[in-house]
Structure 1
């Protein structure tokens, strides 16, 4: 009876995949929503233990905390995370690149990552580390999504959707921004907006947000200043703001990874590196408590125009340094909120300058700070739609949308010109993982030439006469023929077109040999270990229909087979079919 019911369900959901994925997305959304609640609870416990408060807005407590605690507590947190990293590889880092890598390479994320990441990130953030909650919760949500996908026995394509659903739900829950969470998953993680993929992502984001609001309330993350576009001449000022955010954002990306590289090269035990990073952060925080933790207090102060002048210029670079020390040394946390903090301070500083220079036409410095939050995200994560929607949702300020969109696009375009990689893709590109590939190239990059090439092929010697050629092509399943020298190595390639030219010239067929009619100049070939993506690019150089597959033996090319364009198309279609 049970088997019969199970068979009926499998048949029903096989015919109604959208309904099936929607149901799974609800489960993932619930899991991500509660994952966010538990994660926040853990941060509160750690924070209460070290600083005596569970409040999210920590600045007032930090100001009254003795200096020795400010210096030592982040170092202790770093030491705990470092020791956890000896056992669990996923303990450190900012999470998002690992999720992108898993999706790009069709890897599963162990649900155990959710447990490890919750613990280590709670330690980093609860002890005052300069990072955000969103990176870990994206990683946690993705691990939960992957776990659900594993339970249901998902295919590769469905597993990608499940992972993206978890990530979207996690980000939506932590920022109370369901649209922004869904857009992040599509724009940054998947790089596509297919309706079959996007629909479950939206469902997961909504459900996770509902769960989070049910327990934490429907609160606005940041208090947006009142805004009105006072004069059309403000738009050039917002253009300047966009360029400034691009420069600062690119500096942040490069400085962050340079710091990480510096810590990687330090000749001290790896578990001590996060402790050293925490210690240096604590020393830095003696001069500015604002750089510790997520920094929501300071962001809201800048948005309210309560912080202006030189302080904001200084704190931009202190926050970049603080975040780089915390995460670059091996701490666990996110980069979203630090980018928002840096953007807010950059915008607030420029806004103050604009107010002083053009008092009659400019809005408050807080308005520029708000716009710069989105512009900085556009410059660092290289996802302008996500940046615009997240800031719009977490502030719920519609009036600011025009300069917000304008400055964000300017910042994104300028940052792309200065630096091709985002703060998430930099490390992946260094590892040789190209996340900017389209679906076709991703599929073809995973298949080797040797897996699909034609091995039983017809070849000709350079001395083969026309009669031997015509007899040979009758037996062949291909229309391109490698031509070999007397030692058996490749010297040319002959096609039916070459042969036709001889067939219609009377008398030539009696004297011509293969070595005279084959193409020998600028031979194009592939190796068995090359990917089909590489082979397809080589085929396109001369619009060829096939390529010889060779092994290089002391500078000579030994023919191993032939790769036809039709073989590539067949392999691609088969790969897509098996991933459904």
Structure 2
């Protein structure tokens, strides 16, 4: 029976929709992620209005407050945020809260209650002047929304994890107006690999989130970028030098943050008091430098458009770093992505003084160094240079800035890796450590896996000696060596048993029943792949290990379990590589 054209069309359409259904779900997640981001932003605006009677720039709010309020407000906010966190952790039940872990190694289920309570804590810390980014909670809420949608739709674990990754990308796109960079953020940092099965849905979610945010009231770009003039060829050298500087500063900043967290954690103080103490430190700094309040958006925009005295930029930079260390180190919930951009902007502004003093005729505008400094420090801190390049490009939309931006980001990333700098995100650090372990395993040789061999006899040993050795050890073969310690084969258990059955054991030696080629051997310089091939030729647990094919000195034995364990660790998939549609 022939199938009609309408039936064929309907069948093909059904197959097409089924194959691309994940894209439709990704679009829904993108819209939900944008709404979740907007909800957090409006919640922050409302809380600002309740606390200060106004909303907007934290720097403007702090400047208008008396010094007593600047001192105490971050402290009180930290205390309340800490109390909320204690409540959240009491009911966490060991659930994974971080969306990165949920995507990379979890089951895709972002806990709703824990995420909401953490977001309330983050709101309290940020609204009271904490020097921390709001993007962390925005992305977490967007990822939670995606997880809820996926669970309602009864997605399996793999598709649910992919949907949560789409939600994270939607949150970043909504927060930073950078849909392409947000997609590469998720694939480069969280998934660890770029494949179309994952990049396609993630890109759809990011674009839909960005379009949704543009249609919602109150939208405006996070950073208002000026126009950038073309940059002369020789001026690119200065941006390379900026990349080197950023590659050194980013690891130092992250190490300082780790140590500050360790100091607060080791203080023995309850969590609310730790956050209150961190907030008190921020308040004390803000008495003289109110620019440390908030995530630094307004200060970065001012650096992009206004002329600053270098002394003022240096003071704000040092104080902002100190305030961020205190806020984040004390345990406050929030991101350091935006504070990292702030540090990069200030470093770029200060660095611009060098070419302006040495080559004032051809020096690029300070705003160019500010923008490139943001990207370079971000690339070094996140170990994701591609994402950093795309994010700054999407913010600036300047092709003239692309070449220096690319060079600075790649150089900064290379310098940070060369000095073994930590990564902003633990998942990246674990992936780097995993890759380093695989590099070590690729270089491994059998001499590192050789164990001493207890079942070894001289070639002229008696059959009785071999029988005694078989009784002591549950093995099927005893290794034989000559007077120089060279491997000469094996004596098999069943051959010894046969001699005893025929009453010939007393008149024979091991040399008489030696099997020179019964077992494949491994050499000390043999790699994992070659050793595994040798074990595939033999069903036993161990093989004799010799120095080399030309010098068969017996060094011991290599066990199959050791080879397989190293081989599995070498070839297991990186974190996040299994997140497919």
Q: TM-score range by the shorter chain?
A: 0.7 to 0.9
- Are the counterparts in 2 of residues 114 and 144 from structure 1 also a CA contact under 8 Å? no
Equivalent of 2:471, from 486, 494, 502?
Answer: 486
Aligned partners of 2:489 and 2:516 also within 8 Å = no
CA deviations over 1:429-473 (Å, ceiling 9, x no partner):
5xxx446658x98xxxxxxxxxxxxxxxxxxx989xxxxxxxxxx
What is the rounded CA distance, in whole Å, between the counterparts of 1:387 and 1:155 in structure 2? 32
Map of 1:381 onto structure 2:
382
CA apart distance, 1:103: 2.5
Which deviations, in whole Å up to 9, do the C-alpha atoms of 1:351-400 show, x marking residues without a partner? 12321222111022122111101111111111111111111222333332
Structure 2 CA distance for aligned equivalents of residues 325 and 91 of structure 1 = 26
Q: CA deviation at 1:122?
A: 1.3
State the TM-score, normalized to the length of structure 2. 0.76
The alignment's C-alpha RMSD in Å is: 4.5
Whole-angstrom CA distance in 1 between matches of 2:233 and 2:91: 49
Q: 1:462–1:515: 8 Å Cα contact kept in structure 2?
A: no
Aligned length, in residue pairs = 506
What's the TM-score once normalised by structure 1's chain length?
0.76
Q: 1:321 to 1:568 in 2, by over 3 A?
A: closer
Instruction: State the shift of 1:75 in Å.
Output: 0.9
- Residue in structure 2 matched with residue 364 of structure 1 by the alignment: 365
Q: Do the aligned residues in 2 keep the contact of 1:114 with 1:140 (CA within 8 Å)?
A: yes
1:492 and 1:518 in contact (8 A); partners too: no
1:63-111 deviation per Cα after TM superposition (whole angstroms, max 9, x unaligned): 111111111111111111111121213999xxx9933322232343213
Q: Give per-residue Cα distances to partners, 1:461-486, cap 9 Å, x unaligned.
A: 989xxxxxxxxxxxxxxxxxxxx853
In structure 1, runs of 5+ residues without a counterpart are 1-8, 442-460, 464-483, 502-506, 525-536, 551-556
Aligned counterparts of 2:540 and 2:156: Cα–Cα separation in 1: 34
1:65 aligns with 2:65: yes
CA distance in structure 2 between the partners assigned to 1:420 and 1:541 by the alignment: 35
Question: Is structure 2 residue 268 aligned with structure 1 residue 267?
Answer: yes
Q: Contact 1:492–1:515 (CA<8 Å) still a contact in 2?
A: no
Matched, 1:176 2:177: yes
CA distance change for structure 1 residues 578 and 203 in 2, over 3 Å: closer, same or farther?
Answer: closer
Partner residue, 1:545: 535
Aligned residue for 2:291?
290
Q: In structure 2, what is the equivalent of residue 85 of structure 1? A: 85
Q: Quick one: structure 1 residues 43 and 310, their matched pair in 2 at CA, closer, same or farther if it must change by over 3 Å?
A: same
Question: What is the alpha-carbon distance in structure 2 between the residues aligned to residue 544 and residue 579 of structure 1?
Answer: 35
The 2-side partners of 1:246 and 1:562 are apart by 39
Per-residue Cα deviation, 1:197-239 (whole angstroms, up to 9, x for no partner): 1111011111111221111455332122332234322111111
Cα contact 2:84–2:118 (8 A) shared by 1: no
For the pair shown, which has the larger CA radius of gyration, 1 or 2? Answer: 2
Residue 105 of structure 1 pairs with residue 105 of structure 2? yes
Question: In the superposition, relative to structure 1, how do residues 163 and 510 fare at CA in structure 2: closer, same or farther (>3 Å)?
Answer: same
Q: Which consecutive residues of structure 2, in runs of 5 or more, have no partner in the other structure? A: 1-9, 439-454, 458-468, 480-487, 493-507, 543-556
How far off its partner does 1:490 sit? 6.4
Residue 177 (structure 1) shift: 1.4
Match of residue 138 from structure 1: 139
- Contact kept in structure 2, 1:462 and 1:513, CA below 8 Å: no
Aligned to 2:395: 394
| 1:277 maps onto 2:278 in alignment | yes
Distance (whole Å) between structure 2 residues aligned to residue 542 and residue 493 of structure 1: 21
Residue 562 of structure 1 deviates from its aligned partner by 10
Matches of 1:121 and 1:14 in 2, distance apart?
Answer: 44
1:146 and 1:295 map into 2 onto residues whose CA distance is: 31
Q: Secondary structure at the match of 1:157?
A: helix
